Amino acid sequence: MIYEIHLYIPKTGKLTPTMLEWLFEFGQRDDQPEAHWPVYKLKPHALTRLLLKLDPSLKAYRGPLDDVELHHPMEQLGIVLYVHDRGVILFFPYMAYSVYSRVVLGICYTYMRYLYDAAGFWSYDPQLDLISYADDYLALEETAILMDRIMPRLLESG
């Protein structure tokens, strides 16, 4: 299963469930005035350069429009950062109860924490329906425990 985390910079300084509802309803449309958007509009290429400062080994690929895909250099890890004009979607494989998943989560947490510290990004985990501002490493371990508890059940029902 490919897991995803959505990262945004909220205009109010805090990401809320109401903002996420708006994004999932209107975020794919171009007809919304900027004043209605709850998150900042970004420059994907500038954000890509910021991420490459943290990890110059990331491999950049052109996406649709001005979007950029950044692939972790160890392809077998399956980590991809999809940079678009409103944020970043972090994709990675989920494997329950494995040391491998903890390694992948640790790398992903590093990217999330860097984006929070460098630019104020908040994260949303749609699988667990959790909003976070990447406050500490303990939050990562709590997320891993929740993933191991909830995700196998979701995979069985899906």
Q: What is the pTM of this model?
A: 0.85
Question: Which token pair is 148?
Answer: 């191991």
In a domain, 143, yes or no: yes
CATH number at residue 75: 3.30.310
In a domain, 74, yes or no: yes
Query: What integer pLDDT is reported at residue 158 of this predicted model?
Result: 54
Q: Which domain holds residue 22?
A: 2-153
In a domain, 55, yes or no: yes
Q: How many domains does the chain have?
A: 1
In a domain, 118, yes or no: yes
In a domain, 158, yes or no: no
pLDDT 10s per residue in the chain (158 long)?
788 999 999 999 999 999 999 999 999 988 999 999 999 999 999 999 999 999 999 999 999 999 999 999 999 899 999 999 999 999 998 776 566 777 888 899 899 999 999 999 999 988 878 888 765 555 666 666 666 665 555 556 55
In a domain, 37, yes or no: yes
